[in-house]
Amino acid sequence: MNKIQSHEEASVSISCPYESQDKNNLKYLCRGKQPSTCLQQAVITSDNTQNRRFRLTDDKTTRFTVNIASLTLEDSGLYLCGVHRNTGLDVFTAVELKVKEWCCVKSKNMSGIVGRAVTLQCPYPPQHQNNRKFLCKGDKHNSCTDMMNQSRVTLHNDLNRAFLVTIKDLEAGDAGTYWCGSDAQWSVGTYTKIHLSVDSPQLTTISTSTEGVTPPSPSVLDAGLYVVLPVSAVLLLIMASVLVIVYKHKCSKDRGDRSKPKTVDPQGVVDSEDLYENHDAVVKMKRYHPDDTDEDQPDYKDVSSEQIYNNEF
């Protein structure tokens, strides 16, 4: 019994030998281990060489080959390669197929910044040291685009069972899924899946400087403006009112001081300034009563001005 293995989404070829005398006979492939029902349950025959994921090729000499594409875990199991004979029993060859799941594929998450370079590390098994290393981009490894022909991509071999791939001058469009490997057959454990994200330096700066800060909306700013303006007006009115009250109080005080009569010192001493202020008033009063004939008034006819001045007080 032949044993072959592959992994999900890959393809596999099952080789079925036969004798030269059977080169023109019907060939077929079926699942299971029941020869008696194999031809009736055949998944593909040499009369119908293409059946969905199965394709049969006959070299017309010693063997035919059945290729199975887009493998799934359900494809694992026993298969029988059959050669139909018109006389006697059919001839069969048993094959065991094992399909491995994708858990064995290494996966990494990396990030870069627009305009800068990023380096991807891709391990490989020791037996692939002399194999061609490659990097391709795409969601599926079997349909990814080879990146090694781009000028911005550089590959460097490493002594620690890994090779390095550097992508220079990153662009926003460089974000996506990458595959790097050392086996063109995409064998399990010989490639790495990398998810690359590319950030903008401007967005990074803004998000760092404004983290946790919510800018006020225009409505909030307008509301604040309407609140500030009335408060300022009220403060101005209060200050103006205080100034008016102080000014009125000062004016009333000055008028009170000017209307207050001059007092004479109990000792009979009169200030010299007050004396000169009242002198003209007394003289005027005497001058405006020339016809006063009261006998009790003293006669100033023969009195000197010095005597009048002294006696007025």
Read off the CATH number of the domain in which 164 is found: 2.60.40.10
Q: Stretch 54-74: mean pLDDT, rounded?
A: 94
Measure the CA–CA gap between 121 and 83, rounded to whole angstroms.
49
pLDDT at 272 over 50: no
CA 239, CA 244: separation in Å to the nearest integer? 9
Domain stop point among 65, 87, 102: 102
Same domain, 61 and 139: no
Note whether residue 254 is domain-resident: no
Q: Which of 41-50, 161-170, 178-187, 281-290 has the lowest mean pLDDT?
A: 281-290
Tell me, yes or no, whether 77 lies in a domain. yes
Cα distances from 302 to residues 83, 295, 299, 310, in angstroms, run: 181, 16, 7, 15
Q: Three-state DSSP class for 203?
A: helix
Classify residue 28: in a domain, yes or no.
yes
Is pLDDT of 231 > 70? no
Tokens of residue 259, six digits: 């209307």
Q: 115: domain range?
A: 105-206
In a domain, 155, yes or no: yes
Does 121 share its domain with 98? no
pLDDT, residue 18, reads 95
Q: What is the tally of structural domains in the chain?
A: 3
DSSP conformation class of 217: P
**Which pTM does this prediction carry?**
0.43
Contact predicate 62/36, CB 8 Å: no
Q: What is the mean pLDDT of the chain?
A: 77
- Residue 256 pLDDT > 70: no
Pick from 87, 102, 117: which residue ends a domain? 102
Structural domain contains residue 257: no
